[in-house]
Amino acid sequence: MTQDCEHDWLVRGRTLALTFTIDDWQGPVEFISRCTGCGRFALLRLLYWTGVRLDTRVFAVSLLGNEAAGTFLHDMETGYCDLQRHAAELMALVSSAGPIERVVTTSPGPVVRSSCPTAYAPSLASRPWREIEPGREDERWHKLLEDA
């Protein structure tokens, strides 16, 4: 992560900017956030969720290059006729993302509850959010959530 800015996803209590919501179910499950301090973009992808409304969420954070993010956002804003272009644009964006550098837990907003380096995270396996079943996931996520 860039050392000269305490990015929003590092700060407990900070509301993350929903610059572009890629997928949503009762709140964001995959989205782009832009740091309000330095303007850096990050891709956040759901790893786990819990709570009565599944509103406590754990996200993997990968930095995005500003040029790649800017191109993606511009292309999404301008629209297109090719129905497969959205998937291709999204694949290009995900491919351009850096490695997962942080894991954050959020409450609705999304507001950061905790942030930790990936070394402390139990599993960073990425899969479609519809396959993530609360209560059937790795119990180590609960420890991360308790510390939030």
pLDDT-derived band at 107, boundaries 50, 70, 90: very high
So where are the chain's domains?
8-146
Residue 41 near residue 33 (C-beta atoms within 8 A)? yes
pLDDT of residue 6: 93
pLDDT-derived band at 121, boundaries 50, 70, 90: low
pTM over 0.85: yes
Cis peptide before 134, with omega less than 30 degrees from 0?
no
**Predicted confidence (pLDDT) per residue in 17-57, tens digit:** 999 999 999 999 999 999 999 999 999 999 888 888 888 89
Closest CA relative to residue 21, chosen from 12, 30, 10, 13: 30
CA angle (142, 12, 52) in 5-degree steps: 40
Whether the pLDDT of residue 148 is over 60: the answer is no
